[in-house]
Chain A
Amino acid sequence: MSEQIIVKERDEVIVRFSGDSGDGMQLAGNIFSTVSATVGNDICTFPDYPADIRAPQGSLTGVSGFQVHIGSGKVYTPGDLCDVLVAMNAAALKTQYRYAKPDAAIIIDTDSFGSADLKKAAFVTEDPLAEMNIDADRVIACPITQMVKDCLADSGMEPKAVLKCRNMFALGLVCWLFDRDLEVAFNYLREKFAKKPAVAEANIKVIQAGYDYGHNTHSSATNVYRVETKHKVPGRYMDITGNKATAYGFIAAAERAGLKLYLGSYPITPATDVLHELSKHKSLGVTTVQCEDEIAGCASAVGAAFAGALAVTSTSGPGICLKSEAMNLAVIMELPLVVLDVQRGGPATGLPTKSEQTDLLQVLFGRNGESPMPVLAATSPTDCFNAAYMACKIALEHMTPVVLLTDAFVANGSGAFRLPNLAEYAPINPPYVPEELKGTWTPYQRQEENGVRYWAVPGREGFQHILGGLEKDNKTGAISTDPENHDLMTRLRQQKIDAIPVPDLVVEGDAEDADLLIVGFGGTYGHLHAAMDEMRSAGKKVALAHFKYINPLPKNTAEVLRKYPKVVVAEQNAGQLAAWLRMKVDGFVPCQYNEVKGQPFVSSQLINAFTKLMEE
């Protein structure tokens, strides 16, 4: 046994907590990321949870994972493979080991590796490590359950409650591995369990015990890691998930626009957390209606928009199909509406808890008639805030429904969020009809500069009008089936969307002389960026152009796409962005990298594929 702890400095470290869905892996992961963020590390997290509500304890389908990536510099993804894998039972080791690096440290609770546990996890021998070819030297085998029981023997807690603290023991052990300050974790727990101080103290006792166990037995682990902070943007930070950041973006936009925020929604994974988050904030006047179905969620939001609110509806998966009818109503009525689609695996119910980018063409085209609609895609958990804010700004200022795409990966993942200063955000000015137009105004009278119609909110005397799903006469606003008028209205609706100003596409990396341009959109930004960084470190000339604004496309899109000898569009679908770009940019024929696995990209696989492309 060595007397001295070797502290090894690392630029970044990835930890994956795994166990039964009831084992509290997410809480352990969250505390660890908060503790790390507090010392200034950049963080990125990703939960990987099963679709089953509660699979049988110890079963393979019931395993849930939570991955945390901490880094001294900028961290773009939750990471591919982990440096430390915590497996709270045999099933977790069985299913999660494939996410571990070959030299990863593995922490297991030996008390959950009994014969019955091994059988449930489909091990055929009594030696799971040998069966999986895991070098025992890398394993910190620890009787976690027993030690937690001993630790809380005098607490007077129910046996069930005691077992719920196992996650904290693992957390303590991980904190020791990374030399983390436990005080932050203690404060976190004291706040979380403010109403149950006994629970907080029990958890704290167990974390300390896990930490001490690590310290006392350090010979069994390879090293203690330390991730120092190199460069950081000064400011105040919080840890935020994509869904929470989206909700915050809506709240911020409503406040900036001076409007009531209305959310009409129906619970659906993985969008539901947005409904949960917004439902909490009634003290900000946020109104949430949990509707009878997805259709009513969107339809009621259209009603709220008509009544003068900032109207939002949120959904995932099949929900977006059900909303398309009312979205189209908002198109023809030219009312502001934000439709949040947190993409998940499809078709139909598909992979409810997994991530894809497979709704892009659906939201661009999936409605009857000519139905143009702006589409934005958030690029990271923290970017969800900006994307949501901008979606609201576009909807309100251009009187149109807007689709905001996120995905399960971005929505459930988290990152360190620098607190925004609202005053620095562009103001939101809806085109309210000027009072002097009273008497002459008609509903489809447009502003010359951008083709946007005026908004007359009910309650204003002299501006009564009827909107509807039937085509209207451009001049009078009355129902019209006139062929020329319909043709004109179709064009005007399209021109209005085309005229929305969006920022230019930014090229990162070797913008001037890249041999390969990587193109992506939305939630894959982190992985594509990480792949580019690593390829450039290896001496390759690579650039990245990542789309956040998809309709309308940035003005310089064609220019950028045509500038490089080779372009690869990488996306988590069968080629939807590539199809859209080919439609919009004459003669553009990119290479494609497509994956539809429901899992985030793996940077190393991207690098292999892109490198191969460059060699072709």
Chain B
Amino acid sequence: METKYTAQDYKKGQPRWCPGCGDHFFLAALHKAMAEIGVAPHNIAVISGIGCSSRLPHYMNTYGMNTIHGRAAAIATGCKVANPELSVWQVSGDGDGLAIGGNHFIHANRRNINLNMILLNNRIYGLTKGQYSPTSPRGFVSKSSPYGTVEDPFRPAELCFGARGHFFARAVATDAPGTVEILKAAHAHKGASVCEILQNCVIFNDGTHDSVYNKEGRAKNAIYLRHGEPMVFGANNEYGLMQEGFGLKVVKLGENGITIDDILVHDAHCEDNTLQLKLALMEGPDFPIALGVIRDVEAPTYDEAVEAQIAEVKGKKAYHTFEELLLTNDIWEVK
């Protein structure tokens, strides 16, 4: 799609993340995606919390705020409701978005407010120099867990679905086309759109997403889901996914008489999220990691509903100014 903007129009300043940080890759993809989406920079607000990735708004030639830890989703909510014309992007890391900001994350999803919610997941606290995060796996050794964590992580998709989220997509930061694709889909989706970006922290959690971080890895260990297409993966699309009982199984095409017609076809628009959740939770070594738009279901959005209700009540009630409001009360006159 051609728009009058280029990635350059959305760029500002010189990012100061560590060389090799996943944030650099994501930022470049975001600039590109915004140019392709074509909303004017002055009609965009990018709102982050605190953390390495939350520096991102400073590198955007849009309106934005790099706010306080964990509150980005709440602040973005007020911004969108007060000014629904804006395209609002909320950017958080896994600590910002799911630990201190976990409550705001689930409620933004539940309300289905039209935000593009980016979750940059490197499974570590980077800015505070290496503590485990709510997405770090059980047993993870970090500065604050020298003997390994004794708690299970959140799986972001599960949280999103549990909060009745209507859009969930995933991409790997180094995969520019894959990232641009889900960002555009997130923008196109009306409602809360969660994009989980798998990214590396070269300093404190190097290699956390190694199995899918380069093209070769993704060919082997990831599956790109596209609505309406059969779920096949592998270097030559030789593998596929089928349903088995209540679960999924990986099959090889051609083996045991399995043909492409036996393979599950992705339905991102399915209201029932059961299979979408199963896809989102797949992990190695037995299953590929699902990338792309996993769930994308239309539902009423909060901000539009607020506007619609105001319009409806305006039509029904006879008072529209402060002076008229006063006169709806029991009034007496003193002469």
Pairwise interchain contact B81-A300, C-beta atoms closer than 8 A:
yes
Question: Could you tell me the distance in whole angstroms from the C-beta of A544 to the nearest C-beta in chain B?
Answer: 26
Contact present for A466 and B65 (CB under 8 Å): yes
Given contacts A300-B77, A419-B326, A235 and B334 within 8 Å (CB-CB): yes
With A233-B334, A255-B322, A296-B71 as known contacts, state yes or no: A479 contacts B316, CB within 8 Å: no
Query: What separation, in Å, do the CA atoms of A448 and B124 have in the docked complex?
Result: 46
**B58→A285 contact, CB < 8 A:** no
Pair A251/B325 contact, Cβ less than 8 Å:
yes
CB atoms of B77 and A303 under 8 A apart: yes
A37 CB within 8 Å of chain B: yes
Is B314 within 8 A of A236, CB to CB? no
B57 at the interface (CB under 8 A from A): yes
Cα(A420)–Cα(B13), bound, Å: 51
User: What residue in chain B is nearest A252 (Cβ atoms)?
Assistant: B322
Overall SS of chain A's interface: mixed
Pick out which of these stretches binds chain A: B35-43, B129-137, B148-156, B169-177.
B35-43
Instruction: For B68, give its contact among A34, A232, A325 (CB under 8 Å).
Output: A325
Whole-angstrom CA separation of A236 from B332 in the bound complex: 6
A304 touches B82 (CB 8 A): yes
* CB-based nearest A residue for B306: A287
Which residues of B from 63 to 120 have beta carbons under 8 Å from A? 63-68, 71, 74-83, 85-86, 103-104, 106-107
Contact B81 A236 (CB under 8 A): no
Q: Which of B66, B76, B86, B325 has the most CB of A within 10 A?
A: B325
**Contact call B81/A304, Cβ cutoff below 8 A:** yes
Report the separation of the CA atoms of residues A282 and B305 in the bound assembly, to the nearest whole angstrom.
12
In the complex, the answer to whether B104 meets A468 with C-beta atoms within 8 Å is no
Q: Mark A292-320, 1 if CB is under 8 A from B, else 0.
A: 11011001111111111101000000000
Contacts of B309 in A (CB 8 A): 282
Interface residues of A in 70-97 (CB under 8 A from B): none
Closest CB in chain B relative to A262 CB, distance in Å: 5
Query: Which of A255, A282, A462, A466 interacts with B66 by CB under 8 Å?
Result: A466
A191's closest neighbor in chain B, by CB?
A: B330
Given contacts A238-B331, A300-B77, contact A283 B320 (CB under 8 A): yes
A248 within 8 A of B: yes
Cβ contacts B305-335/A at 8 Å (1 or 0 each): 0100110011011111111011001111111
A369 within 8 A of B: no
B223 located at the interface, meaning its Cβ lies under 8 Å from any Cβ of chain A in the complex: no
B71 touching A299, Cβ below 8 Å = yes
Instruction: Give the size range of B's interface with the partner.
Output: 35 or more
**A187 CA to B311 CA in the complex, in Å?**
32
The residue among B60, B103, B332 with the most chain A CB atoms within 10 A of its own CB is B332
Chain B residues whose CB sits within 8 angstroms of the CB of A463 once the complex forms: 42
A468 touches B71 (CB 8 A): no
The answer, among B61, B104, B310, B318, for a CB contact under 8 Å with A282, is B310
Per-residue contact bits, chain A 454-468, to B (CB 8 Å; 1 contact, 0 not): 000111111111111
**Closest CB in chain A relative to B69 CB, distance in Å:** 9
Instruction: Check if B208 is an interface residue, CB within 8 A of chain A.
Output: no
Q: Which of B42, B47, B58, B314 contacts A459 (CB 8 A)?
A: B42
Contact across chains for A237 and B332 when beta carbons are under 8 A apart: yes
Q: Which residue of A lies closest to B45 (CB)?
A: A458
Find chain A residues with CB under 8 A from B62 CB: 464
* B194 proximal to A (CB < 8 A): no
- Chain A residues numbered 209-236 whose CB sits less than 8 Å from any CB in chain B: 232-236
A422 lies within 8 A of B322 (CB): yes
Name B264-278 residues within 8 Å CB distance of A: none
Residues of A within 8 A of B334 (CB): 40, 232-237
Is A473's CB within 8 Å of the partner chain B? Answer: no
CA gap between A262 and B83 in the complex, in Å: 10
- Interface assignment of A326: CB less than 8 Å from any CB of chain B: yes
A289 in contact (CB, < 8 A): yes
Do residues A37 and B332 form an inter-chain contact, with CB atoms below 8 A?
yes
Instruction: Let me know if B289 is at the binding interface, CB within 8 A.
Output: no
**B280 on the A face (CB < 8 A):** no
Partner of B79, one of A307, A462, A479: A307
Q: Which residue of B lies closest to A34 (CB)?
A: B330
Contacts of A236 in B (CB 8 A): 331-334
Chain B residues contacting A420 (CB-CB under 8 Å) are 326
Which residue of A233, A251, A301, A467 contacts B78 across the interface (Cβ within 8 Å)? A301
What separation, in Å, do the CA atoms of A517 and B82 have in the docked complex? 47
Contact B77 A459 (CB under 8 A): no
Once the chains are docked, how many angstroms separate the CA of A125 from the CA of B276? 71
When distances are taken between beta carbons in the complex, the residues of chain A under 8 Å from B325 are 248, 251, 281, 284
Query: In the complex, what distance in Å separates the CA atom of A419 from the CA atom of B80?
Result: 34
List residues of chain B with CB within 8 A of the CB of A34: 330
Which residues of A in the span 298-348 have a Cβ within 8 Å of any Cβ on B?
A: 299-309, 311, 325-326, 328-329, 333
B30 CB-CB contact with A under 8 Å: no
Question: Given known contacts A251-B322, A304-B78, A309-B82, is B314 in contact with A296 (CB within 8 Å)?
Answer: no
Cβ of A180 under 8 Å from chain B = no
State which of B42, B83, B331 has its C-beta within 8 Å of the C-beta of A419: B331
Chain B CB count within 10 A is highest, among A260, A292, A328, A463, for A292
| Bound form: Cα–Cα A479–B104 in Å | 26
> Is residue B50 contacting chain A, with contact meaning CB distance below 8 A?
yes
Q: Which of A477-491 contact B (CB under 8 A)?
A: 478-479
Q: Which of chain B's residues have a CB closer than 8 A to the CB of A469? A: 50, 66-68
Question: CB < 8 Å: which of B78, B85, B86, B332 contacts A311?
Answer: B78
What separation, in Å, do the CA atoms of A217 and B288 have in the docked complex? Answer: 89
When C-beta atoms are compared, the residue in chain A nearest to B106 turns out to be A292
Q: Which residue of B lies closest to A419 (CB)?
A: B326
Residue pair B78, A262 in contact (C-beta under 8 Å): yes
Roughly how many angstroms separate A503 CA and B281 CA in the complex, as a whole number? 63
A291 at the interface (CB under 8 A from B): yes
Q: How far is the CA of A291 from the CA of B326 in the complex (A)?
A: 28
7 smallest CB-CB distances across A and B, nearest first, come from: A303-B78, A300-B78, A468-B66, A304-B82, A283-B317, A307-B83, A303-B79
A-B contacts, 5 listed (Cβ < 8 Å)? A284-B321, A307-B45, A458-B43, A459-B85, A466-B66
- 8 further A-B pairs in the complex, CB-CB below 8 A; given A283-B313, A289-B306: A238-B331, A240-B329, A283-B314, A295-B74, A305-B82, A309-B83, A464-B61, A479-B58
